[in-house]
Amino acid sequence: SFRRMSEFTADTSHELKTPLCAMRGEAEVLLSKRRTPEEYEEGLAHLVERFDHLNRLINDLTLLSEADSSPVRLEMSPLRLDLLVQNIGNLFQVLAEQKGILFEVGPLEEVTVLGDKTRLQQLLTNLLDNAIKYTSKGSIKLTLEKTEGTAVVNVKDTGMGIPKQEQDKIFKRFYRVDKSRSRETGGIGLGLSIAEWIAHAHHGVIEVESELNVGSTFVIRLPVLIP
Ligand code: ADP
């Protein structure tokens, strides 16, 4: 665990340095000579985007390091998973359609689980974010069914897929299948580690089935509260 911790610190420093260096570089270019108000505006807007990215990165890192050092307090209450999935689905529908991807929600069976609403929202958000990021054409389908005391959420996309030999590694921190393909989409390789941590914290599991250039299905299984 000590080795894991120091690796984590080294990776973290590296991941923080990259956007910081880029931001400094952009600010220096902006300052290197007098510019038009439009150029300043454009430069600052770009910097704001980078700040947001850095902020998300720091939030993700804070969550993971808290999870490492002490049990994170979850606000557990009975909640209708189908309604939560529907709400998140509505949000992502807009994003998918903007990208020209068909987005289908349902069927959603009525299921109640004991869960932390914010964390479960984050879990679904991370999976849907990826489905949109790594799908350039086709469709995304979000479903929920109840089988033998287990709630099963499926997030299925027709995106670029994940090679077989990489499938058990994608849940590792900072792991990206192909650094170039996710760097340009702003990925830092923490989304799935967080998703897995949240599933485990709910006594659930998360699995992936995927075929390169065909698509991926992420499956979340959570115990139901009221069978
Ligand atoms: P990232 O921030 O890079 O997206 P994640 O932890 O969310 O980090 O995902 C890890 C890697 O798994 C990604 O870099 C990507 O290569 C791969 N991946 C995750 N979801 C999908 C998906 N739906 N389709 C294809 N590849 C995916």
Q: Which atom of ligand 1 is nearest to the CA of 126?
A: 7
pTM attached to this predicted model: 0.88
Report the DSSP pairing between strands 205-211 and 215-223: antiparallel
Q: Which atom of ligand 1 is nearest to the CA of 176?
A: 14
Q: Rounded mean pLDDT of 13-38?
A: 91
| pLDDT value for 186 | 61
Judged by DSSP in three states, 138 sits in coil
Helix (H) or strand (E) holding 114: strand 112-116
37 pLDDT tier (thresholds 50, 70, 90): very high
Q: Rounded mean pLDDT of 46-60?
A: 89
Q: Which atom of ligand 1 is nearest to the CA of 178?
A: 16
182 pLDDT tier (thresholds 50, 70, 90): low
Q: Rounded mean pLDDT of 130-139?
A: 95
Closest CA to 207 of 158, 165, 155, 161: 155
Distance between CA atoms of residues 185 and 132, nearest Å: 10
Q: Which atom of ligand 1 is nearest to the CA of 191?
A: 7
| pLDDT value for 64 | 85
Query: Which of 61-65, 90-94, 201-205 shows the lowest per-residue confidence on average (mean pLDDT)?
Result: 61-65
Query: Which of 2-6, 62-66, 215-219 shows the lowest per-residue confidence on average (mean pLDDT)?
Result: 2-6
Q: Rounded mean pLDDT of 154-175?
A: 94
* Minimum CA distance residue for ligand 1 atom 19: 130
Pocket perturbation via mutation, ligand 1, pick of 173, 182, 213 by most ligand atoms within 8 A of CB = 182
Q: Rounded mean pLDDT of 203-216?
A: 97
Residue 83 CA, ligand 1 centroid: distance in Å:
26
Q: Rounded mean pLDDT of 81-104?
A: 96
Query: Which of 31-40, 56-65, 145-154 shows the lowest per-residue confidence on average (mean pLDDT)?
Result: 56-65
pLDDT at residue 106 tops 70:
yes
Give the chain's largest Cα–Cα span. 68
Mean pLDDT of the residues in the chain: 91
Residue 23 CA, ligand 1 centroid: distance in Å:
25
Strand partners, 145: 152
Site residues for ligand 1, CB cut-off 6 Å: 126, 130-131, 134, 157, 159-162, 170, 175-177, 182, 187-193, 216
